[in-house]
């Protein structure tokens, strides 16, 4: 997202994408299988995950150096779901 220079409000993007990149010679098939398993679990529990709010937003490179906090403390709820379904970390 970007900010409106006049009002300072967030301007939502048309499409959110995530890029997942990894060096191909570093990881084994088992690493990728684990990653797919965890991402699938997150997708199945997506109803727990809510938004994030800025608590620190630098003027430049805000997505790299900013600090976000989970909205409604969903991070702990997600951790509880993980522990209940998959055991201790």
**53-62 pLDDT, tens per residue?**
889 988 888 7
Residue 42 lies in a domain: yes
pLDDT, greater one: 37 or 87: 37
Residue 58 lies in a domain: yes
pLDDT, greater one: 89 or 17: 17
Which residue in the block uniquely carries the two structure tokens 């150096």?
Answer: 65
The whole model's pTM is what? Answer: 0.66
CA separation, residue 33 to residues 19, 27, 47 (Å): 17, 11, 23
Q: How many Å from the N-terminal Cα to the C-terminal Cα in the chain?
A: 33
Residue range of the domain that includes 28: 22-86
Select from 82, 88, 83, 71 the least CA-distant residue to 42: 82
Residue 67 lies in a domain: yes
Count of CB atoms situated within 10 Å of the CB of 77? 15
Residue 13 lies in a domain: no
The structural domain count of the chain equals: 1
**What was the pLDDT predicted at 89?**
61
Select from 76, 21, 71 the least CA-distant residue to 84: 76
Residue 15 lies in a domain: no
CA separation, residue 89 to residues 26, 29, 85 (Å): 24, 22, 11
- pLDDT tens per residue across span 3-34: 777 887 888 878 878 888 888 888 888 998 99
């Amino acid at each position: 997202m970007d900010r409106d220079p006049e009002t300072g409000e967030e301007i939502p993007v048309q499409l959110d994408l995530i890029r997942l990149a990894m060096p191909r010679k570093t990881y084994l098939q088992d690493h990728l299988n684990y990653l797919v398993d965890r991402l699938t679990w997150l997708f199945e529990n997506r109803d727990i995950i809510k938004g994030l709010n800025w608590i620190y937003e630098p003027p430049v490179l805000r997505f790299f150096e900013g600090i976000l906090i989970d909205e409604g403390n969903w991070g702990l709820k997600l951790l509880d779901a993980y522990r209940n379904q998959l055991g201790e970390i």
